């Protein structure tokens, strides 16, 4: 596949608010699916659906711990991108 399409695929995944919140929720530390659902306010089912996509793109990695499964952002580049654009958003919202 073309590099551009790979990039676009990643961006598209980050382009949904719910999925972005999920990513941000497990950016620094592994979180269980339930915890992510609670943190984002999305249903458990929806979170699981999204996590499947994020996992397929290797943006998150999941590890089973007894009954729960803990997900964490799997990529340093992704972390950088997110942090970078968070600054951007902060600037755009800017000082009122």
Residues that bind a second copy (CB under 8 A): 2-17, 20-21, 24, 58, 75, 77-78, 80-82, 84-93
Confirm or reject binding of residue 48 to DNA (CB under 7 A): yes
Q: Shortest approach of DNA to residue 84 CB, angstroms?
A: 21
The greatest distance separating any two alpha carbons of the chain, rounded to the nearest whole angstrom, comes to 48
Strand partners, 62: 71
Q: Which does 75 bind (CB under 5 to 8 A by kind): DNA, a second copy, none?
A: a second copy
Q: What is the dihedral of CA 96, 80, 65, 58, to 10 degrees?
A: 120
């Amino acid at each position: 596949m073309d590099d551009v399409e790979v990039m676009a695929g990643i961006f598209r995944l980050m382009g949904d608010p719910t999925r972005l919140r999920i990513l941000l929720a497990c950016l620094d530390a592994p979180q269980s699916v339930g915890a992510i659902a609670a943190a984002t306010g999305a249903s458990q089912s929806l979170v699981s659906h999204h996590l499947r996509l994020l996992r397929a793109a290797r943006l998150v990695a999941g590890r089973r711990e007894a009954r729960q499964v803990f997900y964490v952002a799997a990529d340093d580049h992704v972390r950088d991108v997110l942090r970078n654009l968070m600054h951007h958003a902060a600037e755009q919202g800017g000082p009122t």
